[in-house]
């Protein structure tokens, strides 16, 4: 019986690992980093998500993400590997300075159009030739 429980636990852990992107997609990834600023000032918190733009031919099943550091910089990671697959991406930025739960509507450090992939106007292409830096310039 204990052997069965151990095997069952290992199976569940393996499924969690795969669901979290632990398996290699086989996609070649290229380093992508940059700085995020709002109206010329560095954004020093939040996160960046690159959503594959299927309408532009990007068929990647993975979504590169990165936190924004205290220096306003980000560095993408895809499925636990550094970088992003080549293709077009719609950029989502989330930066809500309020960390405490509240009934008041959140106040974002930037225009709310950047909160969703279907409303953002930032579209970039990651080429399959070299590392790239994408500085993101947001409005309020």
CATH of domain 26-138: 2.60.40.1120
CA distance 49 to 64: 6
Query: In this structure, are residues 65 and 49 in contact, taking their beta carbons and an 8 Å threshold?
Result: yes
pLDDT at 21 over 70: no
What per-residue confidence (pLDDT) applies to 112? 78
In this prediction the pTM is 0.74
What would the mean pLDDT of 131-135 be, rounded to a whole number?
79
- Kindly report the average pLDDT of the chain as a whole number: 79
88 phi and psi angles, rounded to 5 deg: -85, 145
Average of pLDDT values for 55-84? 94
Instruction: Evaluate whether 52 touches 60 at the Cβ level (below 8 Å).
Output: yes
- Domain borders along the chain are 26-138
Integer Cα distance of 73 and 62 in angstroms? 21
Q: What is the CA radius of gyration of the chain?
A: 18
């Amino acid at each position: 019986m204990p052997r069965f429980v151990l095997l069952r636990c290992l199976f569940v852990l393996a499924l969690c690992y795969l669901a979290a992107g632990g398996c290699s997609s086989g996609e070649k990834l290229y380093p992508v980093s940059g700085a995020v600023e709002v109206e010329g000032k560095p954004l020093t918190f939040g996160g960046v998500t690159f959503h594959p733009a299927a309408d532009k031919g990007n068929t990647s099943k993975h979504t590169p993400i990165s936190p924004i550091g205290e220096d306003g910089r980000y560095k993408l990671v895809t499925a636990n590997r550094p970088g992003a697959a080549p293709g077009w991406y719609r950029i989502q930025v989330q930066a809500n300075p309020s960390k405490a739960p509240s009934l008041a509507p959140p106040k974002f450090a930037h225009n709310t159009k950047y909160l969703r992939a279907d409303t953002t106007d930032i579209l970039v292409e990651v080429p399959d030739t070299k590392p790239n830096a994408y500085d993101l310039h947001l409005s309020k």
